[in-house]
Structure formats: structure tokens, C-alpha cells
Amino acid sequence: MNQIAAKPPAHVRADLRRIADWIEPGSRVLDLGCGDGTLLAHLQNNKQCVGAGVELSDQQVIACVRRGVRVIQQNLEEGLALFDDHQFDTVVLSRTLQSMHNTERILREMARVAKYGIVSFPNFGYWPHGWSILRGRMPVTGEMPYQWYDTPNIHLCTLRDFEDLAASLGLRITDMATFKGDNEIKILPGWRSTLAVYRFESGR
């Protein structure tokens, strides 16, 4: 019987490294929209975390298996009914929140299955986006590389927009980091960053 050859360790993006920094060694982690399993493999190999990913793409599921990552193939829009209350310590939703149809539902579900949630999303407040709109065009950037007619991004927001939503859902933000590419942005992040990463604690 042929076995899938293990993939070598992948380059870990700066935002994923920051997410990993916020996760305690040995934690139980659920990664929603886990892609090729890079984050979970990094956590398993470097922080002895255990857990699983959820991913829809066939190719990405195969990539997870090759990295030794446990993965469940499922559409996140169907919710997290497969998982029990408090089953994990941390649940991650990286670069996927903006493509979810029901943003509030997925955040509530994250708070149900884990004590801590981590989300990242493109920052629509990045200043060139406003300049593009003033010129009569929807912005197209590295974090949002799609044209208006074929984009999967249906819920775009700024940092303040997300913070207001988290507060309305009873989620307490504990950490925040912003990036432009691999560079962390600490001065005027609302204007100068293209990607925001938040860690929150559920209200339970």
C-alpha cells in the first residue's frame, strides 16, 4: 500500500508565528480553515500542541495529511456542531473571517468550543484602500488581491469595526498585532497595516 510522503517543514509567516506565540505549550488547538496545515504542524513540532484542523479544499486536506496534521473536511458555514463545549484551549480562524457569511455565528461558536479565540483578517482601514476608493476603484492589494466581481471577501472591516463587534458579543480582547507582509506594524496600525490579528477570551 502506497503511503503519502511527509512534506518538509514549511516557511511560517510572521502572523502565524505571532499566533503560535500566543498559544501555550501542550494546548488543545482547533484551526478553522487550516489550509495546508502549516500552523498546526508548527505547533505540534515546536510546542507539543494537540488538535485538529478543519478545511474544505481537497488539495489542502492532502497537504495536511502529508504534514502529519489531523484534519476534518468540512464547510465552516455549517458551524462547529461536531465539537463539544470547551473541547479546546484555543481555536484559530486565520484569514477566513472576512469570507464567512455569518460572522457573528462563527465567533460565538469559537467562544463555545474554546476559552481563547484567535482571528486574523485583512484591514480595510489600510490607507491606500481609501485612496483607491477616492479614485473610483475598489482596492486590490496583496491581502485583497481580487477584483470586486470575483472576490471571496464579503465582510470587510477595520480594526475598530472588529473591536466593536467583539465587545457586542462579550468577547474580551487580550492581544492584538498588525502586519504588512512579514513586518509588524506598531505605529498607526489602523492606517498602515494590511492584516490584523486578535486574540480574545470568551465570556464564559
pLDDT at residue 152, as a whole number: 65
Q: Mean pLDDT throughout 36-50?
A: 96
Q: Whole-angstrom Cα distance, residue 92 to residue 52?
A: 11
Structural domains counted in the chain:
1
In this prediction the pTM is 0.89
- Please check whether residue 2 lies inside any domain of the structure: no
The fraction of the chain above a pLDDT of 90, given in percent, is: 74
- Please check whether residue 70 lies inside any domain of the structure: yes
Fill in the amino acid letter for 203.
Answer: G
Q: Tens of pLDDT along 100-112?
A: 999 999 999 999 9
* Residue 50: half-sphere exposure toward Cβ, Cα within 13 Å: 3
- Please check whether residue 73 lies inside any domain of the structure: yes
The CATH number given to whatever domain includes residue 109 is 3.40.50.150
CB contact set of 195 (below 8 Å; sequence gap of 6+): 15, 95, 120, 121, 122, 123, 143, 178, 179, 180
pLDDT band of 143, cuts 50, 70, 90:
low
- Please check whether residue 98 lies inside any domain of the structure: yes
Q: Is the pLDDT of residue 74 over 80?
A: yes
pLDDT band of 2, cuts 50, 70, 90:
very low
- Please check whether residue 7 lies inside any domain of the structure: no
- Please check whether residue 4 lies inside any domain of the structure: no
CA of residue 176 relative to chain centroid, distance? 13
- Please check whether residue 79 lies inside any domain of the structure: yes
- In whole numbers, what is the pLDDT of the chain averaged over residues? 89
Query: Which range scores top for mean pLDDT: 4-8, 35-39, 122-126?
Result: 35-39
User: Which whole-number Å values give the CA distances from 135 to 67, 109, 193, in the listed order?
Assistant: 45, 39, 21
Structural domain of 50 = 14-201
- Please check whether residue 132 lies inside any domain of the structure: yes
Sheet holding 50-55, edge to edge: 71-73, 50-55, 28-32, 88-94, 114-122, 195-201, 172-180, 183-184
What phi, psi does 35 have (nearest 5°)?
A: 60, -130
pLDDT at residue 71, as a whole number: 97
Q: Is the pLDDT of residue 99 over 60?
A: yes
